[in-house]
Amino acid sequence: MPAAKTHSQFRNIFQCLMKTGITPEQATALETLQKCPTFQGSPANQEDIFADGSLQEYITQNLEDPWENTSFEGYVYLSPKQKGEFGERFFEKYFTSKGHEVKRAATSTDSYDRMINDLRVEMKFSLATRDKKANGIKTDNFIINHVSKGKNFDRLVFCCINGEDKSKWTIKWFTHVDFVAHVENDKTSLFKHQQGGQKVNNDDYMCSGISITNLLKHEMVKDISEW
């Protein structure tokens, strides 16, 4: 029950009891209870916080799932860790269906996700971001994050789902060697430092926004058909 409603009900009960007559001991007990932290504050102000409905509307807006009635329904509600695991399972099934041998990394601390044939592969999976105004998606709008020069992957494969049909899946890849060479040039790199940035020598990069559009056209990026 909302706290503001509890306060209001308590005041009504207190007033009724006082009118009907209670013992001095009971009155003292009720007054003591009313002074407890649980019943302090301004109920009217607390009610006013939600009066215009904007806070609830914000929650409702972010509960909309543009992937409803598709195989990806509910994905938007997963935690980041769960989304990462889903992406790895998606890629494992995808590559297996193409005839590749896929194995998990030797240990959970390895800095790659799967062995595909003899290649150590880092995987980045995403659904196209939600377009709240149109109640749909923004095609090929996604983020690639937590990519490091120090990770020992041979290739990084990334995927953006723009629709349930496979023809709307953007799946591409690049090599670790090309990635390192690319980010070494701060002026032209499409990947930027995250979580502290360059000043703390953080080996953690991300690509988003217009840089994603440019990345898809970059010479170091290969189509999945060239795997």
Structural domains counted in the chain? 2
pLDDT the model gives residue 107: 85
139 and 188 in a single domain? The answer is yes
Q: Which domain holds residue 90?
A: 75-226
Same domain, 27 and 87: no
7 with 113, same domain: the answer is no
Note whether 66 and 136 are within 8 A (CB).
yes
CA 61, chain centre distance (Å): 15
Question: Quick check: is 147 in a domain?
Answer: yes
In a domain, 206, yes or no: yes
CATH number (domain holding residue 108): 3.40.1350
Q: Is residue 58 part of a domain?
A: no
CA gyration radius for the chain? 27
Cβ(71)–Cβ(127) below 8 Å: no
Between CA 208 and CA 107 the distance in angstroms is 30
Q: Is residue 61 part of a domain?
A: no
For residue 135, what are the CA distances in angstroms to 16, 41, 59, 143, 198? 50, 39, 15, 20, 37
Q: Point out the residues of the chain with pLDDT beneath 70.
A: 1-24, 26-27, 30-31, 33-47, 195-201
Indicate the helix (H) or strand (E) that contains 94.
Answer: helix 80-97
My answer on whether 109 and 22 are in the same domain is no
Q: Is residue 60 part of a domain?
A: no
Residue 162 and residue 131 in contact, taking contact as beta carbons nearer than 8 Å: no
Nearest to 160 by CA among 147, 144, 148, 145: 144
CA distance 224 to 12: 68
Q: What is the pTM of this model?
A: 0.73
Q: Specify whether 27 is located in the same domain as 80.
A: no
Largest Cα–Cα separation, the chain:
86
Q: What is the 3-state secondary structure (H, E, C) of 103-132?
A: EECCCCCCCCCEEECCEEEEEEEEECCEEC
pLDDT tens by residue, 42-92: 555 556 788 888 898 888 878 889 999 999 999 999 999 999 999 999 999
Please indicate, yes or no, if residue 57 is contained in any of the structural domains.
no
> 141 in a domain, yes or no?
yes
Residues 106 and 198 in one domain: yes
The verdict on residue 203 lying in a domain is: yes
Given this model, what pLDDT does residue 169 score?
97
Check residue 27 and give its pLDDT: 67
Residues 27 and 92 in one domain: no
